[in-house]
Structure 1
Amino acid sequence: MASAVALAIASGGTAFAQENNQGFGDIVVTANKREQSLQKVPIAISAFDETAVRAARIENFRDVVLRIPNFYADSVSRTQTSIAMRGAGSLEDSPGSDQAVALFVDEVYVGENSGLDFDFFDVERIEVLRGPQGTLFGRNVMGGAVSIITRKPTTDTTATLEGTFGRFNQIDVRGMLGGALISDTVMGQIAFSSKNSDGYARNEVTGNRLERDNTQSVRGKLRFHPSEDFDANLSVNYMRDKSKGIARKLYGDVPAALNAPDQLDVTQQDMDGGYDRKAYGATLRLDYKLPIGTITSISAYRYGLHRTNVDLDGTPLEIAEFKLQQNRVKQLSQELRLGGTAGDLDYVLGVYYLNVKLRRNEFLTVEGYPGSLFDEIAPGGTVAPEGRGQYINTESYAGFGQFTWHVSDRLRLTGGARYSWEKKSGQTYCLQDGILCSAYLLDVSDHWSALTPKATIDFDVADGIMAYATVARGFKGGGFASDFPDAESARAGGSFDPEFAWSYEAGIKARWFDNHLQTNVTAYRVDYSDLQVRQINGPFTIVGNAGKSQVKGVELEIVARPFAGVEIFGNYAYTDGKYKSLVLEDADYSGNRLILTPKNSFTVGGSYTMEFDADSSLTLRGDVLYKSKSYLDVSNDDLLTAKYDGVVNLSASYLFGGGKWEVSLFGKNVTGVRTPSTAQDYSVFFLSGDDLAAGKRVIATSYNRPTTYGVTLRWKY
């Protein structure tokens, strides 16, 4: 890297000195709870502004995951998504657990995985912070944070309307209307999104299409801004998802009598599966400027009811099926903080409260294929109880503060800490005929606390070049496992401990050649203690803590504008993560690689814009995404892996004169790369003991989406 920079300096920058070649503008982010230029924030952060979100067609959480180094997701369904960043992640998704990477929408924490998959629309900016962010962000931010900022109403009357028609009869409609209402001090805005498609997979048993989309969302905002000293923003949102069909496949040594189709998108399921989800919420943000700083209050309520049914085994038989998985969440949160500047000192002080009531009920069928080991264990075989569930009430309190001292015009020192205390209590239980059964009903309760400090030094080496180093501690509370088939395993499962991390990070953010080349480099190491892990093997679920784990790596982001109308971008991450100590049920996995952690990942691409008369233009854009092999299980089984081996996305957009109309042609995953989005070992359900002893295997999986393409027509006022 140093030689490349030296070569660029030696060249005198002539390649970047083209006349009328506009350099980079500043992307303003709020990672430190105040507005700053992205290049001035001493944090490893990737940001997409509104233009980038639209150009890259970032429409949901999965699109963000693909485009960020060190970010990965395992998704059984929209309501069962596990995410990881820099090695921090777990497949455990019970109500008594938490995600290691946190999602925030307008600074409101979204913790449960059943609520992660929603339509991104009316987005002003997406910020992805890598590494522990436990000082200023909500809770449980071990691996990183994804912060989605939606647009605020303004006094300007604005409107957009766009429609998309694409492969698989995709029909999407989005729109927004906003502006001043009663006067220039009161503004309003409403945005909506409707996504529909016939689905890319087909079920030969029912004759229906699978992976169909049918989602509607709306967000309304009201803003009262009577003076520069006071700003009140009320936001309400609603989402309804009635999408149908969840495709599951088997591969490996599948019994010949099942005649499993070879095509990835053709299944033989006795049940199509699908979703019945609704969610709504409200957020009230108040900002009041005082002589000592700005007081910010963020009050939020969220409700979600997510029902899913899925044929887990993907066969015409009732081997493993969720007849119903229902998640009901009620969340109330309040943050109050004071931020400002006193002389050479920037500061943020605050308190935080969160209450989450989450209940999950699961009604499932578990049987064995005739002659399988499971059929021998449970002949005829539905395992009792038929249902199981968990209710957890989480209360979290925190106080936090962060101070940045501007020692000189070039040197800054930052120190901060957060003290968190949280309690989880509730019940783990079984269900029979839809009501509580006598097999087990366990009361669970525990509490944890932690101090998570952070210290940073950053220095302007030269104009446009900043170097920084950070040490920070991360914390994620303990919890309680669920998914137990009987009382004995439920009592033995018990609770799992909280996990901690110490992160050490150094980086350089630089702009060269009059803002025509930007290079951001980060090197880091994270030492984890008691990393929470989960292993699934057929009907058996094992949850525990890894004693010690470590991940280290390098991240590189480059953007260049060498000529007028040309932008070239790329990011790369090298990640080396291992369980230094991990034993589950007497199986020693020490030395294995961390799950959901590809060793190499990158995105490279570019765009070219040609300007014409009357302010019309044509923009061509393309990118290639790659993530090397990632293990989906702590055993590091080569049959339980995923790899994104060169996903190519292309688009061409023509902006008509006047700037009101735009038409775009797009193709996503045009190379047709297919890889498991999740995978579980279901061998015990389909194979005999002798087959298992001989090393035969059957894996149940879902795959990522195939090639999609279409056209979008957009109008803007």
Structure 2
Amino acid sequence: MRYSINWLDAAMGFPRGSVLTRAATIAVWALLPLTGQAQMLEEVLVTAQKRAQSLQDVPISVSAVSGEKLERAGILDFADLSAYVPNFQKADTALGPVLLIRGIGSGVNQSFEQSVVQYADDVALGRAPLARMPFMDFERVEVLRGPQNVLFGKNSIGGALSITTAEPTEAFEGRVSAEYEHDYNQQLYTGVLSGPLTGALAGRLAVRSYSDAGYYDNLTSGNQEPGRDEFSIRGKLRWDFNDAITSTLKAEHAAIEANGTPSEVFLNMPSGTGPLSFLFSGLTYPEIGELLGELTGEDVGSEDGVFNFRRSTNVEESSEIAATNITLRLEGKLGAIDVTGVTAWLEYDTDELCDCDQLGLDVLSITQSEDYQQFSQELRFTSPVGGAFDWIGGAFYQYSDLAFDSFSLVDDNNVLTALGVLGDSLGPAGAELTAIGLGANSQTGRAYDSESEIFAVFAQATWHLSAHARMTIGARYTYEEKTASRVIDSRNTATNDFDLEQSIVVNQLLGIDLQTLGELSATQALGPEYPKGFFSTHNLDQTNSEDAFTPSLVLEWDASDSAMVYGSVASGYKSGGFDARGNREGDFFYDNETVVTYELGAKTRLFDNRAELNAAAFYTDYRDLQVSQFDGEAGFFVGNAPKAVTQGVELDGRVQLSEGLSATLSMAYLDFEFKEYEGSCSRPEFIETGVRQCDYQGRRNIFTPEWSGSLGLAYTRMIASGYSLYAGLDVSYVDEQFVEVTLYEPLQQDAYTRVNAQLGLESDRWSILLIGRNLTDEDITSYISEVTLSGGNPFYAPSYAGFYERPQTVALQFNYWFD
């Protein structure tokens, strides 16, 4: 549904997009009458600068969500969290999740380190699959906007997500929780035990199990999809050697299995002029599928091109990930200086099977797997505070190894076989079909391996220029060396040998660049784009080393006892790399990206600490921004956008309206613009103009809504001795935005307003809550992509698939605490 005005404008009566609307809303909110009985706000502590500080004392645009809020609101992962934090998004795509802050993220490519990096207990989790890990027993999550390269490093050029897991407690305590949702049979069970084990040793154990039948109906298989099973376990041991030395050992494992994907074909264009126009002309891609189903005798289901949570695929798609992390944290004293060492081992593996043709019959399926290991060591020294000068500094090392394999399978029981047989029966008139039949019984494999070593040193120092003014200077020096190889090879699955004619057909279908074999003519059935024959195998192996110096400067001034203003300039750097998914031999290496961000902000306390209002305005200049581009056939490749600018304003606030009633408000304005960049044209544009590269100058990027915001209310009232009523309401708004990489205008996600709510009864020992998610039942598309092969050879019928978020759900949650 497309809104002509958004929820804030409607409420205030101003035209859509009016800045006055936002200003008036904030003013009205900030001046809400506060009763004399209202309590003061509890202080929010964060570690955004690697030491515990009040949120109001940190000169960074940061949002913090407590573990209590995560539990009460039913926030299960980063996708849920994004509804509560403007200018932060998590998008699930066909190739994996993407995290973005202020419109900056890393796109979809296995070679990417994320531009928005997770840090769990000070350990970098920079790989995209790890963004799928569920939330369990967190103390808080901090969203740090803008480059965080000095203290966090590891490519956090867009921002950082700092996760603090719950610590062992001094007294024994525990909790069990169960949650059930009826429509899609969602079941969530959590258990936590914590307390002392001996005089100096304390432990904590958390276990989580989740299952979900899925919210899509597969018309071909009859299954409900995507079915999902998750299991997580974390153990922590804290040993206090003495008053000065503490060690914490954390071991955790998580496994996720899913069947099917939350996507469906919804935008279909009729087949145009092509080599097989006599067979397909005027038919949409799903209609071609039905025709091919008749040729092969298969019941393919029916895609109606309407968004209705129905899909038609015949391959039993699957997605699995298992991850293990072991972290040892040592904390001690060197005189008055705090010394912290963090040693971590991380590994995960993934296996995925995609029915990438999105049809209820065999055309193309793709398997892919990742195997990743990471070792890291950080040593950090932190001075005490309270004097004229305080500082933090240290060194960092990381080694990582990635193996990525992918196979595109066109088996013998396949549409291409049927087309080849039909071509044979037509004689010379069916030559094009006969040629396409050569592609059956083939497999194109891709093997990508990379190793990386990172060495870094960093320091940040704060001078207290006066009782009310401070200056902070920081810098990080990073050296990284990467080695990578990529091999692409085509084989006949029956003979396991290379087949020249088959290779030509399959690789032209997939858009893979091949090595030229003189003047041998390509099969003209596959179009004029490939005028010569090629040989499929390419084998690349390269090494690259880089270093970078990234300084920052912050000025702070206490305008009053309850207001602090700051200005900062920070540089950031993300290393270059080698493209895992590209099909073009010449595009293996992509350059590093750099950024400079300017930020002005204010942190204020109002009404005797009953309210807080924080604001930040930023301007960010990116150079050689790493972007993922669709190659027009069956894959993506990495490129660099020479210049891009993102700028905007962010507001965060909370207020204690009365005893038991509190409110939060967050709002963001984001202006993203490519200043210089040529990217892939959309399929319709390419069909119309014949040009593959389009000028993106002046355009917004994917996942960059102009306006976003959230409003939350929480109310607790004692209704009897030991019993209280709890009610929560969370409303979030996201403006229209592109969710497809070629920025095709008809594929924008419309603006939407999502409503979540909670209602329950609580005591000191137990609580029971109703949790409603997406109560307005908004149609929300997280990502759209062109269906593989639909718009090119041999069908020429562009079709798009959308990845849709879960519709309205209402769950019942029960919690029990014991000690």
TM-score, normalised to structure 2's length? Answer: 0.81
**Residue 6 of structure 1: CA displacement?**
8.1
Does residue 62 (structure 1) correspond to residue 106 (structure 2)? The answer is no
Q: 1:91 aligns with which of 98, 107, 130?
A: 107
C-alpha distance after superposition, 1:562-581 (max 9, x if no partner): 22211121111111111100
- 1: CA distance, partners of 2:742 / 2:25: 40
Q: How does 1:244-259 map to 2 (within 5 A)?
A: 244-253=259-268, 254-255=284-285, 256-257=287-288, 258=290, 259=302
C-alpha spacing 1:137/1:688, structure 2 compared with 1 (3 Å): closer
Does residue 27 (structure 1) correspond to residue 44 (structure 2)? The answer is yes
C-alpha spacing 1:454/1:365, structure 2 compared with 1 (3 Å): same
1:707 aligned residue: 808
**Residue 315 of structure 1: CA displacement?**
1.5
Does residue 37 (structure 1) correspond to residue 144 (structure 2)? The answer is no
Q: How does 1:369-384 map to 2 (within 5 A)?
A: 379-380=436-437, 381=439
1:562 aligned residue: 657
**Residue 211 of structure 1: CA displacement?**
1.5
**Residue 329 of structure 1: CA displacement?**
0.6
CA contact (8 A) 1:603 1:626 kept: yes
CA contact (8 A) 1:497 1:530 kept: yes
Gaps of 5+ in 2: 1-21, 269-283, 291-301, 421-431, 499-535, 680-691
1:654 aligned residue: 761
- 2: CA distance, partners of 1:227 / 1:578: 55
**Residue 522 of structure 1: CA displacement?**
0.6
Q: 1:403 aligns with which of 437, 461, 464?
A: 461
Q: 1:290 aligns with which of 324, 330, 334?
A: 334
2:274 aligned residue: none
2:547 aligned residue: 449
**Residue 670 of structure 1: CA displacement?**
1.3
Q: How does 1:664-675 map to 2 (within 5 A)?
A: 664-675=769-780
CA contact (8 A) 2:714 2:729 kept: yes
C-alpha distance after superposition, 1:644-682 (max 9, x if no partner): 5011111112102xx011001111111111222221123
C-alpha spacing 1:316/1:171, structure 2 compared with 1 (3 Å): same
**Residue 149 of structure 1: CA displacement?**
0.4
Moved more, 629-638 or 236-245: 629-638
Q: Which amino acid aligns with 2:460?
A: Q
Does residue 228 (structure 1) correspond to residue 219 (structure 2)? The answer is no
Moved more, 536-545 or 297-306: 536-545
CA contact (8 A) 2:380 2:395 kept: yes
CA contact (8 A) 1:393 1:424 kept: yes
- 1: CA distance, partners of 2:725 / 2:786: 49
C-alpha spacing 1:644/1:234, structure 2 compared with 1 (3 Å): farther
Identity of aligned residues (%): 30
C-alpha distance after superposition, 1:662-709 (max 9, x if no partner): 0011111111112222211238525789x96xxx74112221111121
- 1: CA distance, partners of 2:709 / 2:792: 39
CA contact (8 A) 1:547 1:582 kept: yes
**Residue 206 of structure 1: CA displacement?**
1.5
- 1: CA distance, partners of 2:441 / 2:698: 35
1:49 aligned residue: 66
CA contact (8 A) 2:489 2:538 kept: no
Q: How does 1:607-686 map to 2 (within 5 A)?
A: 607-643=714-750, 645-656=752-763, 659-682=764-787, 684-685=789-790
C-alpha spacing 1:686/1:577, structure 2 compared with 1 (3 Å): closer
**Residue 320 of structure 1: CA displacement?**
4.0
1:469 aligned residue: 567
CA contact (8 A) 1:246 1:272 kept: no
- 2: CA distance, partners of 1:152 / 1:566: 29
CA contact (8 A) 1:217 1:237 kept: yes
2:192 aligned residue: 176
- 2: CA distance, partners of 1:313 / 1:248: 12
Q: Secondary structure of the residue that 1:386 maps to in structure 2?
A: strand
- 2: CA distance, partners of 1:70 / 1:604: 14
**Residue 710 of structure 1: CA displacement?**
1.1
**Residue 545 of structure 1: CA displacement?**
0.7
CA contact (8 A) 1:18 1:564 kept: no
- 2: CA distance, partners of 1:250 / 1:69: 29
CA contact (8 A) 2:228 2:257 kept: yes
Does residue 202 (structure 1) correspond to residue 296 (structure 2)? The answer is no
- 2: CA distance, partners of 1:7 / 1:631: 32
CA contact (8 A) 1:160 1:715 kept: yes
**Residue 383 of structure 1: CA displacement?**
10
Moved more, 675-684 or 278-287: 675-684
Q: Secondary structure of the residue that 1:685 maps to in structure 2?
A: coil
CA contact (8 A) 2:265 2:799 kept: yes
Q: Secondary structure of the residue that 1:612 maps to in structure 2?
A: strand
- 2: CA distance, partners of 1:412 / 1:506: 15
**Residue 554 of structure 1: CA displacement?**
0.5
C-alpha distance after superposition, 1:98-138 (max 9, x if no partner): 21111111111011112211111110010000000000003
Does residue 339 (structure 1) correspond to residue 397 (structure 2)? The answer is no
- 2: CA distance, partners of 1:265 / 1:377: 37
Does residue 301 (structure 1) correspond to residue 379 (structure 2)? The answer is no
- 2: CA distance, partners of 1:368 / 1:631: 34
Q: Which amino acid aligns with 1:246?
A: T
1:503 aligned residue: 597
Decide which structure has the larger Cα Rg and report it.
Answer: 2
Q: How does 1:118-129 map to 2 (within 5 A)?
A: 118-129=133-144
CA contact (8 A) 2:262 2:805 kept: no
Q: Which amino acid aligns with 1:468?
A: Y
CA contact (8 A) 1:248 1:313 kept: no
C-alpha spacing 1:72/1:455, structure 2 compared with 1 (3 Å): same
Q: How does 1:594-605 map to 2 (within 5 A)?
A: 594-605=701-712
Figure out how many residues of one structure are paired with residues of the other and give that number. Answer: 696
Q: Which amino acid aligns with 2:206?
A: A
C-alpha distance after superposition, 1:567-604 (max 9, x if no partner): 12111111111110002464322221122211111111
- 2: CA distance, partners of 1:509 / 1:681: 45
- 2: CA distance, partners of 1:225 / 1:362: 47
C-alpha distance after superposition, 1:488-528 (max 9, x if no partner): x2x21121100000000011111100112211111000000
Moved more, 503-512 or 529-538: 529-538
Q: Secondary structure of the residue that 2:41 maps to in structure 1?
A: coil
CA contact (8 A) 1:250 1:313 kept: no
Q: Secondary structure of the residue that 1:205 maps to in structure 2?
A: coil
Gaps of 5+ in 1: none
**Residue 242 of structure 1: CA displacement?**
2.2
Q: Secondary structure of the residue that 1:47 maps to in structure 2?
A: strand
C-alpha distance after superposition, 1:442-487 (max 9, x if no partner): 10211111111110011111122110111000110001112244xx
- 1: CA distance, partners of 2:98 / 2:79: 11
Q: Which amino acid aligns with 1:313?
A: D
Moved more, 631-640 or 345-354: 631-640
C-alpha spacing 1:422/1:715, structure 2 compared with 1 (3 Å): same
Q: Which amino acid aligns with 2:657?
A: P
- 2: CA distance, partners of 1:82 / 1:220: 28
TM-score, normalised to structure 1's length? Answer: 0.92
C-alpha spacing 1:394/1:619, structure 2 compared with 1 (3 Å): same
Q: Secondary structure of the residue that 1:153 maps to in structure 2?
A: coil
1:272 aligned residue: 316
CA contact (8 A) 2:407 2:443 kept: no
Q: Which amino acid aligns with 1:714?
A: N
Q: 2:204 aligns with which of 180, 184, 189?
A: 189
Moved more, 27-36 or 618-627: 618-627
Q: Which amino acid aligns with 2:612?
A: Q
CA contact (8 A) 1:388 1:484 kept: no
